[in-house]
Amino acid sequence: MTDNAQAPADTIYARLGGAAGIQALVDRFYAVMDELPEAYGIRKMHPDLPRANESLFKFLSGWFGGPPLFEQERGHPRLRARHFPFRIGPAERDQWMLCMRTALEEQVPDLDLRGAIHGAFEGMATHIINTEAPKPPPPPLVENELDVIDELARPGVASIIELGCGAARVARELLDRHAGAHVTALEVDAVQHARNLAEPRKRLQFIAAGAQAIPCADASFDLALMLKSLHHVPVPLMGTALAEVARVVKPGGQLYVSEPMYEGPFNDIVKLYNDEGEVRAAAQAALDAALESGAWTELIAGRFDAPRVFASFAEFEARMMRPSFADHQIDAAKLAEVRAAFEPHLGPDGARFRQPMIVRLLLRAGGDTAAQVAA
């Protein structure tokens, strides 16, 4: 079978005019490739144009619904694999498509047909690209954020302030890990602060205060920690809070900030009753503004995933929906809605989520250079 008489009339092959129409398109395609200075990059890849012409003609014959000449001679086309010997990136794809678009404009007056063929070529040409950078590995799953703090901020230093310490688990573990460390732990939630005071500990001082008004002297701390707490500072006070942190951190000291990202299945559930999209974006913007002010330089911006594990919906409700520091106005309808979103994640060992986190480590200006601290 070598002509259009044997191909169904509604194939692209037939609509293009069968073998003669395809040959004319292919001839024009390679002529344009040969002529256009913009296509010189891919022209160099094709030392033997007649051979390429014959191959493309035979392939298109079958691809467009006519006789499968290429397969009959060479087997399965496996076009992507056949192009592996050549480095084909977006620039090469664009050059190839420029030649093909020019040829199509000249050879195919039917705009619908031209559009359909162009779309098919574009899809295939993009599929053939083989120089794409490999996808970055997913962020690591970190069971204990102390490991991240230890690795990035090296907190074996004398004086640390934690803003928004919650139940002070991190503060206490910091002291376990670093015998030389002293921690000042601030918390605005009065209930939590009272609980913290009930469990005193050497080298750990609790203060009831927010980051926007830190009752400590200038340049008192080597390291400030804000773990998932910056977005809890009222948005209009975020800039003040970061200025306060800059005031109490020594020149050359560091600020470690981790914040949950506004994405992922866990966030999809939480946002049903507590949508933090705006405050989390505001927290990142406040950090950007603090950097622009010149008070800090950024040493590291990284990602990790934190595990969030709940044995049951009841546990999720108690811990996440009814914290002591906020009233999320949960009525029966809201509870049912959140439960319906949560329950599909429940397995035999509870519900396990990965919460994407962003970490930024800032260096207080005026001390050592960033390179010295990072070394």
Assign residue 9 a region (left: φ > 0; alpha: ψ between -120 and 50; beta: otherwise). Answer: alpha
Which of the ranges 54-62, 106-114, 181-189, 295-303 carries the binding residues for ligand HEM, by CB under 6 A? 54-62
Distance CA 322, CA 191 (A): 13
Which of the ranges 55-63, 144-152, 346-354, 357-365 carries the binding residues for ligand HEM, by CB under 6 A? 55-63
Count other Cβ atoms within 10 Å, centred on residue 295.
Answer: 19
SS3 category, 330 = coil
Beta bridge partners of 207: 186
Distance CA 193, CA 162 (A): 13
Q: With binding defined as CB under 6 A, does residue 48 bind ligand HEM?
A: yes
Q: Where are the alpha helices (DSSP H) in the chain?
A: 12-15, 18-35, 40-43, 49-63, 69-74, 79-82, 90-107, 111-128, 145-153, 169-177, 190-197, 238-248, 265-270, 277-292, 313-316, 332-342, 370-374
Which of the ranges 46-54, 228-236, 242-250, 253-261 carries the binding residues for ligand HEM, by CB under 6 A? 46-54
Map residues 26-45 to x or -, x wherever contact with ligand HEM holds by CB under 6 A: ----------------x--x
Whichever of 51 and 154 has its CB closer to ligand HEM, that residue is: 51
Whichever of 39 and 358 has its CB closer to ligand HEM, that residue is: 39
Q: With binding defined as CB under 6 A, does residue 313 bind ligand HEM?
A: no
Query: Residue 62 Cβ, how far from ligand HEM at the closest point, in Å?
Result: 10
Whichever of 81 and 158 has its CB closer to ligand HEM, that residue is: 81
3-state helix, strand, coil in the chain (%, to 5): 50, 20, 30
Whichever of 92 and 187 has its CB closer to ligand HEM, that residue is: 92
Q: With binding defined as CB under 6 A, does residue 271 bind ligand HEM?
A: no
What's the token pair of residue 328? 């999320």
Determine which residue in the list 24, 31, 36, 52 makes contact with ligand HEM, applying CB under 6 A: 52
Cα radius of gyration (the chain): 31
Query: Residue 250 Cβ, how far from ligand HEM at the closest point, in Å?
Result: 56
Map residues 64-103 to x or -, x wherever contact with ligand HEM holds by CB under 6 A: ---------------x--xx--x-x---xx--x-------
- Please state the length of the chain: 375
Map residues 228-247 to x or -, x wherever contact with ligand HEM holds by CB under 6 A: --------------------
SS3 category, 352 = strand
Whichever of 86 and 325 has its CB closer to ligand HEM, that residue is: 86
Determine which residue in the list 46, 114, 201, 345 makes contact with ligand HEM, applying CB under 6 A: 46
Distance CA 119, CA 125 (A): 10
Map residues 105-134 to x or -, x wherever contact with ligand HEM holds by CB under 6 A: ----------------x--xx--x------
Are 318 and 155 in contact by the 8 Å Cβ rule? The answer is no
Distance CA 101, CA 114 (A): 9
| Residues in touch with ligand HEM (CB under 6 A) | 42, 45-46, 48, 51-52, 55-56, 59, 79, 82-83, 86, 88, 92-93, 96, 121, 124-125, 128
